[in-house]
A = this chain, B = another copy of it.
Amino acid sequence: MRISELSDRTGVPIPRIKYYIREGLLARALPSSKLPGGYDDAHIHRVRLIRAMVSVGGMSIAATKAVLTEIDAPSPSIPNVLGLTTAGFSGDQKPRSGENSAHAVAYVRALIESRGWDLAADEPAEDEFIDAVETMMDTGHEALLGHLDVYAEAAEKIAEADFGCLDENDSLAVIVEKTIVGTVLGEVFIASLRKLAHADQARRRFNP
């Protein structure tokens, strides 16, 4: 197909598709007598995946390229791909020098150990979580941490349900797309569901 049809079918404008090609995220077209224009279904899938990472996930081009390189490797590892994806979402790690830093790190390490979570040594989500715990301590709102096991158990149930949406036969590219969209959309979804449950609790506890 031609680039105009690729653009129509993915909803991504032509200049942006050309930009993806220049940056090495998308293979160049290989026009042949059989395939006028040179784009095929693999291009459509790849463009949708890039859009999920860049537009929905807000990932940088460099982070997107790192994930795609791992996907295209001869034997890609799913945990590595997901780790690179999570890293792409997260900001850069700042040095920890606050008065509660060491306390927050120890707190999170103890939680991970007690839940038996199997994590990579440099898991980016761990840094993000330490940041959140440290902010709670800094602002005097550490009361939430008293219920940490309730929150951790709820997060486990949610993560299991999230992964339950993956199909055994999904390709790695589809798994990555579902993970990105699921992580970003799922965050809004869980946050608003929690607010709904708050509203219900408020009426139960404080209404006459």
| Chain A stretch 50-84: residues in CB contact (< 8 A) with chain B | 56, 77-79, 82-83
In the complex with contacts A82-B202, A86-B199, A199-B86, A165-B193 CB distance below 8 A: no
Q: Does A150 contact B158, Cβ atoms closer than 8 Å?
A: yes
In the complex with contacts A132-B192, A141-B181, A195-B183, A163-B125 CB distance below 8 A: no
A77 to B205 alpha-carbon distance, docked (Å): 11
Closest residue of B by beta carbon distance from A116? B200
- Minimum CB–CB distance for A12 against chain B, Å: 14
Asked if A154 is at the interface (CB within 8 A of a chain B CB), the reply is yes
Asked if A34 is at the interface (CB within 8 A of a chain B CB), the reply is no
Chain A interface residues (CB < 8 Å from chain B): 56, 77-79, 82-83, 86, 112, 115, 117-120, 123, 125-126, 128-129, 131-133, 135-136, 139, 141, 143-144, 146-147, 150-165, 178-179, 181-183, 185-207
